Amino acid sequence: MKEPFAILAHALGVVTSFLGPLVIYYLKKDESKYVADHAKESLNFQITIFIGYVIAMFLKIVLIGFILPWLLSVVNLVLIIVAAIKASENKLYRYPFNLRIVK
């Protein structure tokens, strides 16, 4: 059975950063472990990306930070697409680099 909220937890990261996965996690954590796992993974990834953007802001002082936000955006989009596809196939996707903040 496909869970649209699992796919949505990843896809919302494109437009809402960590807020979309956070809302889905809190709404569905007691109803579906599968959706909760996807939302938690997406939430942790979006927090990791957000931290990357904050670091990039500070690195703009040494000029390397001007490239980093573009790189983070591309990586974010590509990995979200991969995760959403895996969720649509009823597979749990683990992002290749991710701070496991929400357990």
Structure confidence by residue, pLDDT tens digits, 12-59: 998 998 899 999 999 988 898 999 999 999 999 999 999 999 998 888
Q: Which of 7-11, 32-36, 63-67 has the least mean pLDDT?
A: 63-67
97 falls within a domain: no
101 falls within a domain: no
How many residues are listed for the chain in this entry? 103
32 falls within a domain: yes
pTM, entire model:
0.88
Share of the chain above pLDDT 90, in %: 54
94 falls within a domain: no
Residue span of the structural domain in which 68 resides: 4-88
68 falls within a domain: yes
- Grade residue 85 by pLDDT with cuts at 50, 70 and 90: very high
pLDDT at 2: 65
84 falls within a domain: yes
Domain count, the chain: 1
